[in-house]
């Protein structure tokens, strides 16, 4: 049993979590630190990143905070270049504009694509270069069930989430020979600041809960296990994969249970 007990141990590794100021990013950063990683909590909101680092430190972990705007190539490149080491990257930030596609403005399109897809690309590129030079590393990007299934009002967001999957798959194919793994986590409905408007509409919120096989929303802590798995040696032969953490949303067909 001895060697298998160490599969999830992240001691001695440095993890950068972009979007660590809240939601899934904060939970991921805390989880990585709990398994021994030194975590750099990065967020466009410096105070939120510092708060996440303080939570980790209070729990006995090692973390510090950095400000970064994922939309800025200069800031992303500078952040990653300044790290003494980089073994794990987790990137989570996203925004959404819920509108019929025929009503979406060019500015709204550019804003969503600029963060969700271009920003993710910038993080993948910078981390990929750094890890390829080191000959090791695990990159984890967050997509969504919307990379596979859609609903009205989700056109641009869904396109960015599908694009994230293909960016990560390409990076996995290109950097595998250098010892770098790249994977995607695709959550279902999760209670986060991004989904707060849905929670304010009880019928909408309940409809989403009922669509999943587990009949409920996820808590951000329920994404941490997938992050630890993909960051650690437990997934040493996993790359180019999409791990759905969606309560069975994409496995079940429709919202009606027929009489049986």
Q: How many domains does the chain have?
A: 1
Predicted confidence (pLDDT) at residue 193 exceeds the cutoff of 90: no
Confidence of residue 1 (pLDDT cuts 50, 70, 90): low
Residue 255 lies in a domain: no
Kindly state whether residue 184 falls inside one of the protein's structural domains: yes
Where are the alpha helices (H) located in the chain, listed in sequence order?
23-34, 46-58, 73-82, 106-113, 120-134, 155-175, 196-199, 202-211, 224-231
Query: Is 252 a domain residue?
Result: no
The verdict on residue 240 lying in a domain is yes
Per-residue pLDDT of 103-120, as tens digits, reads: 999 999 999 999 999 999
Pick 256 or 36 by higher pLDDT. Answer: 36
Q: How many CA atoms lie within 13 A of 173 on its CB side?
A: 6
Q: Which of 157, 205, 208, 237 is catalytic?
A: 157
Other residues' Cβ atoms within 10 Å of the Cβ of residue 177: 9
Q: In the chain, what percentage of residues exceed pLDDT 90? A: 88
* Cβ atoms 62, 128 nearer than 8 A: no
Do the domain assignments include residue 251?
no
Residue 122: helix, strand or coil by DSSP? helix
Comparing C-alpha atoms, which of 198, 180, 170, 56 is closest to residue 41?
A: 56
Secondary structure (H, E, C), 60-106? CCEEEEEECCCCCHHHHHHHHHHCCCCCEEEECCCCCCCCCHHHCCH
Q: What average pLDDT does range 123-136 have in this prediction?
A: 98
* pLDDT at res. 82: 97
Residue 257: the pLDDT is 67
Contacts of 114 (CB under 8 A, 6+ apart): 71
132-157 mean pLDDT: 97
Q: Is 259 among the domain residues? A: no
pLDDT at site 52 = 98
User: pLDDT of 22-70, one tens digit each?
Assistant: 999 999 999 999 999 999 999 999 999 999 999 999 999 999 999 999 9
Calpha distance 114→229 (Å, rounded): 29
pLDDT given for residue 258 in this prediction: 66
Instruction: Report pLDDT for 253.
Output: 81
Catalytic residue flag (residue 205) = no
Answer whether residue 19 is part of any domain: yes
Residue 223, both tokens = 């994404």
* Predicted pLDDT at 175: 98
Residue 40 pLDDT: 98
For 210-246, the pLDDT digits (tens) are 999 999 999 999 999 999 999 999 999 999 999 999 9
What pLDDT was estimated at residue 27? 98
Q: For the domain that residue 120 is a member of, what is the CATH number?
A: 3.40.50.720
% of the chain with per-residue pLDDT over 70: 98
- Asked if the structure places residue 258 within a domain, the reply is no
Range of the domain at 109: 3-244
What average pLDDT does the segment 167-186 reach?
98
């Amino acid at each position: 049993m001895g060697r298998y007990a160490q599969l999830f141990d992240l001691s001695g590794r440095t993890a950068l979590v972009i979007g660590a100021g809240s939601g899934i990013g904060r939970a991921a950063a805390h989880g990585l630190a709990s398994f021994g990683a030194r975590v750099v909590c990065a967020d466009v909101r410096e105070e939120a990143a510092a708060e996440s680092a303080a939570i980790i430190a209070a729990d006995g972990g090692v973390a510090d905070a950095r400000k970064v705007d994922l939309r800025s190539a200069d800031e992303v490149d500078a952040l990653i270049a300044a790290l003494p080491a980089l073994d794990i990257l987790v990137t989570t930030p996203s925004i959404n504009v819920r509108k019929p596609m025929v009503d979406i403005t060019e500015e709204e399109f550019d804003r969503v694509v600029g963060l969700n897809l271009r920003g993710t690309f910038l993080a993948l590129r910078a981390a990929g270069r750094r890890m390829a030079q080191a000959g090791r590393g695990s990159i984890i990007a967050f997509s969504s069930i919307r990379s596979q299934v859609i609903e009205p009002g989700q056109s641009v967001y869904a396109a960015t989430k599908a694009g994230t999957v293909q960016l990560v798959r390409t990076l996995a194919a290109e950097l595998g020979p250098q010892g770098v793994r790249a994977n995607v986590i695709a959550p279902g409905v999760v209670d986060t600041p991004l989904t707060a408007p849905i929670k304010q509409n009880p019928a909408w919120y309940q409809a989403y809960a009922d669509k999943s096989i587990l009949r409920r929303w996820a808590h951000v802590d329920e994404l941490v296990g997938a992050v630890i798995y993909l960051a650690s040696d437990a997934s040493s032969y996993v790359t180019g994969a999409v791990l759905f953490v969606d309560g069975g949303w994409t496995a079940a067909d429709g919202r009606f249970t027929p009489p049986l």
